Every structure is written in structure tokens, then in C-alpha cells.
Amino acid sequence: MEKQRLHSKEHRMKKEFRCEQCGKDFFTTAQNMKAHIKTHDEKSFQCSECEKYFSTKANLEAHKRIHTGERPYKCPHCEKTYNQGSHLKKHVRVHTNERPYQCSECGKTFTESGSLKSHQRIHSDEKPYQCKHCDKRFRQKSHLKCHERTHTGEKPYLCSHCGKSFSNPTHFGFHKRVHTGEKPYHCSVCEKRFSKFATLQNHKRIHTGERPFKCSQCDMTFARSDVLKVHQRVHTGEKPYSCSICGERFAYLGSFQTHQNKHAKEQTKP
């Protein structure tokens, strides 16, 4: 009788469970289900192509697309496709200008949580990644890797259109848009399109009149940081452009080019 009572009790404790990790259905006790879930912590899903292990079936399926080349997630705004839904979600923010991650210190917003985390090191001045070739330190590991290529000369990103190579993946991405004509960033005021987010930000200031870049030497303000940099040569006396013919130096590119044209005309005179 006692044995039958215990069996009936055990049967009453059993319920229908679905494992979110592997998608399997079970009729078992909560304790047995916990034991099953723990097996996933041991990365029990193995890829038959490269023998990598994964803790969930979903992660394995996403990984398999690397081998098959399958890219089922298509952007509704452009022709780009992705092998993971999370990658598509990040990409779509390029078109929507959605930047859901905000810095609590300065209010700056970002499209990805990783970018926010890296940015926050500006406020703490944390630079955990050091170059093994020199004393420079970096807030992001990706920035360190790009910097180290200045020592090694490595340029692993090769353009299939023109053969030009790049050490920085971001610069490579910008370059590819020269060939494709892709301009994913659009102005919501005038609908003008841009290939770079930074260029869009500069353009928007035409509409807002914002001039956030202030000269530390005088009261002049500018809409763009590069224009401020050129202006500061008035105060510093810096003249970065040197004529290879006569040695005269210039603060501004336009003045330098005008000067060079004079030499060119002199050389063509009979």
C-alpha cells in the first residue's frame, strides 16, 4: 500500500514542461526538469561541421548559418540580409535613427549596448587595453587591435572592387559605400541621404543652427569640429602644408593649392 501511495504522489507531482533551451517536451517533476536544464549549461549541442559546442539549440542553429551561408533575416528598408535576428535588429536602427542606449553622465545615445559601455569609460578615464608595442592604452579592444596594425602594417580588409586594403574595419565599411552608392542615413527634415552617421549629424546643424564646437582662444563657435581645428591655426600659428619647390608653408589647404598652381604655371611658360 505504501509503495502504491508514493507512486501516486510522484505521479501527481509530474507536469507538462517544455525546455526553452532545446524545444523538447517533458512530462516529469520540477526537480527532474531542473536536472535536464543543467545539462545545457555543459554546452551539450555540438556543430557537426566544426565541432563547436553550444548551450542552447537556438544558438547552435544560428551558428550553423555560418557554414550554410543562409541569411533569412532581411532588412525591410534595404537589400541587406543577416544570419541572426539580433544582427538585423541592430542594423535597422541605421534607418530608423533609433538610439535606445543613453549615457547617464552626458546624455549621449547609442544604437548598441556595447558602444554605450565603451563610451562610459570616457567618464571614468578607464583604458584597460594596452598596446604590446608601445605605451598607448585604449578603452576598447577593437581600437587596440586597429592601433597595433600601425606597428605591424597589417591591412586585412581588402576591397573586392578596387583592391584597396584597410587596417580599420570601420574605414573599410565607409569605403565600400563609395562603390555601392549606399547612403543609409537620411535627414528627417529635408530627406537628404548620407553614407556616414557623422556627416548626417553635421548636416542636421544646418537646420537647427547648432554650433557646439567653441574655440578656447576666442568667442567663435562652429558647427563642425574639423572647421574649428582649421580655425585654431589663427591662434597657434600652425602651418601644416609645405611647398616642396620653395619651402613656403601654409595654414590652409586652399592657400597651399593656389600657391602650387602658380609654380605649375611658371613651369609651363616658354
10 Å Cβ neighbour count for 201?
A: 14
How is residue 270 written as a grid cell? Answer: 616658354
Residue 90 amino acid letter: K
Of the pLDDT bands very low, low, confident and very high (cuts 50, 70, 90), residue 7 is very low
How is residue 79 written as a grid cell? Answer: 537589400
Question: CB-hemisphere CA count at 13 Å for 25?
Answer: 2
Which CATH code for domain 213-264?
3.30.160.60
Q: Give the residue carrying C-alpha cell 556543430.
A: 47
What's domain 43-96's architecture?
Answer: 2-Layer Sandwich (3.30)
How is residue 264 written as a grid cell? Answer: 605649375
How is residue 112 written as a grid cell? Answer: 548598441
Tell me: the pLDDT tens digits for 83-107? 888 889 988 988 888 888 898 888 8
Average pLDDT of the segment spanning 48-57: 81
DSSP 111-149: SSHHHHHHHHHHHHT---EE-SSSS-EESSHHHHHHHHH
> Who's near 211: CB < 8 A, 6+ residues apart?
205, 221, 222, 223
Which residue ranges does the chain devote to CATH 3.30.160.60?
43-96, 213-264
Of the pLDDT bands very low, low, confident and very high (cuts 50, 70, 90), residue 4 is low
CB 192 within 8 A of CB 184: no
pTM score: 0.47
Q: In 3-state terms, what secondary structure has residue 80?
A: coil
DSSP 146-189: HHHHHHH----EE-TTT--EES-HHHHHHHHHHHH----EE-TT
Tell me: the pLDDT tens digits for 204-258? 999 999 998 999 999 999 988 899 999 999 999 999 999 999 999 999 999 999 9
User: For position 215, what pLDDT does the model report?
Assistant: 93
User: For position 23, what pLDDT does the model report?
Assistant: 65
d(CA 87, CA 114): 13
Is residue 21 scored above 80 in pLDDT?
Answer: no
Handedness of CA 61, 64, 68, 71 (dihedral sign): positive
Of the pLDDT bands very low, low, confident and very high (cuts 50, 70, 90), residue 39 is low
CB 45 within 8 A of CB 52: no
